[in-house]
Amino acid sequence: MDGSIRFKIDKNGEISTIGEYSAKRLARFAGEWQLAPSTSYLMLFERKSSSNVELSQESSLISKVLFSGVIHEGSLLEFFNFLGENSRSGVLVVVTEKIKKSIFFKDGQIRYATSNMSEDRLGEVLYRYGMVKKDVLEEALADKSKRLGEKLVQLGHITVADLYRAIKLQLEEICYSSFLLQNGHFYFYQLVSEDLIPSTIHLQTRNILLEGVRRMDEMSYFKKKLPSPDVVPEIVSEASVSNLTDHEATTYKLIDGRKNLRDLARQNRMGLFETTRIIFYLMQGGYVKVRTVSSMAVETECDKGNIEKLLLAYNKIFSYIAQKAGNVRKKLIHDLDTFTAKLEGNLKVMFAGVEVADDLTFNSSTLLKNISEMDNTNKVFSNLYKALDEIFYFLLFSSGITIEPEIENELQSIVGKISQGQT
């Protein structure tokens, strides 16, 4: 239970609560209300009847909502700057369809933040920055008797200094990720007392803004060569450590052609952004290059699980192409049958008798049966990957359809994860 009050508005305008918990919570606000100016994502209500109103402890904490608005590119940066420059105190809440982040300000400076996203949880930050191992984190999370940070310090897995750094990083990343939102809504409210604002951490709003803008600018540049955290770098030539900074040298020594950016960020304890920046500049210097998915596929074992995952990934995107193709779909099925009929060598054996479904997907059971009967399965995974990838581009060519770059990047990322045994 996330503590939210939920209700549903039907097409006739009738309101009903969702669940007994929501009903009990909403009963505390009993009375007549009027809908204030609202948007499709955010509704504001103003109390009209004030007789016999007994405010709950929770509702009495909020003084008033001062600002609300629609998120568009750069709008949150501007509003953060406004709050900092005008020394505002209160809570900024950022909401989209699935995301809710709250940033607490005191005298214009950031003091605390919360988020409903799993990657923003303290445990995930500790793991992402290499402060704790996964098994240690899971064991600590299983113990509900104490807070996670307190438990890890007590067990000696982290120091109080580590905990302070992790909480500070957590706050920073919640803010940085908020800047990246392209849609949704925000509102800012005051609390009845500034003493209610947590003040264990103090972040200068101006510094957060400057770093946030830098990250947004640089990451868009980095992504041209390092499109996702699943990218695997490998060493091109031996670099003289004396030519590198301490952070660059530390990261360089960790590169083994198997670890992706997430793994490296965990081991060097510098975080994903800083690690991405270091790898980018190592690439610029000719020290490393991005390992291709094809090269990783060559080393991938040809077991049933890997083949099924590979087929599932490509069948999903073939089905997506079929949906976009519309009336052209029947032509694509014919073209695809013709294409696979001309395959040679091991690929001809693999695809023998494999039918193309109406949604352009391949029957995995027939293909797996063909592979199991092959005498030599050396490089089968790699060859199958190349064939499916070629089919993917052939379908785009034959249909004249274009797909979003993010979908293509995600496909290659999935194949990379299969090759690294991460799925």
3-state helix/strand/coil string of the chain? CCCCCCEEECCCCCEEECCHHHHHHHHCCCCCEEEECCCCCCCEEEECCCCCCCCCCCHHHEEEEEEEEECCCCHHHHHHHHHHHCCCCEEEEEECCCCEEEEEEECCEEEEEEECCHHHCHHHHHHHCCCCCHHHHHHHHHCCCCCHHHHHHHCCCCCHHHHHHHHHHHHHHHHHHHHCCCCCEEEEEEECCHHHCCCCCCECHHHHHHHHHHHHHHHHHHCCCCCCCCCEEEECCCCCHHHCCHHHHHHHHHCCCCCCHHHHHHHHCCCHHHHHHHHHHHHHCCCEEEECHHHHHHCCCCCHHHHHHHHHHHHHHHHHHHHHHHHHHHHHHHHHHHHHHCCCHHHHHHCCCCCECCCCCECHHHHHHHHHCCCCCCCHHHHHHHHHHHHHHHHHHHHCCCCCHHHHHHHHHHHHHHHCCCC
* Calpha distance 203→205 (Å, rounded): 6
Domains (ranges, CATH) in the chain? 62-216 (no CATH), 225-291 (1.10.10.10), 297-419 (no CATH)
Question: Residue 90's beta-bridge partner residues?
Answer: 105
**pTM for the model:** 0.69
Alpha-carbon Rg for the chain, nearest whole angstrom, is 27
End-to-end C-alpha distance for the chain, whole angstroms: 29
- Give pLDDT, residue 341: 85
pLDDT in tens, 339-359: 888 888 888 888 888 888 888
- Give pLDDT, residue 49: 62
Residue corresponding to tokens 């955290």: 229
Nearest residue to 350 via CA among 321, 385, 320: 385
| Burial degree of 330 (CB within 10 A; 0-12, 13-18, 19+) | exposed
Residue corresponding to tokens 């008797």: 145
Nearest residue to 361 via CA among 397, 392, 331: 392
- Give pLDDT, residue 263: 93
> 129 near 266, Cβ under 8 Å?
yes
What sign has the CA pseudo-torsion 239, 245, 250, 254?
A: negative
Nearest residue to 347 via CA among 357, 339, 359, 356: 339
- Give pLDDT, residue 62: 63
What sign has the CA pseudo-torsion 398, 404, 409, 411?
A: negative
CA of residue 231 relative to chain centroid, distance: 15
Nearest residue to 20 via CA among 39, 1, 44: 1
- Give pLDDT, residue 3: 61
> 268 phi and psi, to 5 degrees?
-90, -10
pLDDT in tens, 151-203: 999 999 999 999 999 999 999 999 999 998 888 889 898 887 777 777 678 89
Give the pLDDT of the chain (423 residues) as one tens digit per residue: 456 788 899 888 888 889 888 888 888 778 888 887 676 767 777 777 655 555 444 455 666 788 888 888 778 999 999 999 999 999 999 988 889 999 999 999 999 999 999 999 999 999 999 999 999 999 999 888 888 999 999 999 999 999 999 999 999 999 999 998 888 889 898 887 777 777 678 899 999 999 999 988 898 888 888 888 888 999 887 666 678 889 999 999 999 888 999 999 999 999 999 999 999 999 888 889 888 777 776 666 777 888 888 889 899 989 998 888 888 888 888 888 888 888 888 888 888 888 888 888 888 888 888 888 877 777 888 888 888 888 888 888 888 888 887 787 788 788 877 777 766
- Give pLDDT, residue 175: 95
Question: Can you read off the two tokens belonging to residue 323?
Answer: 């949906």
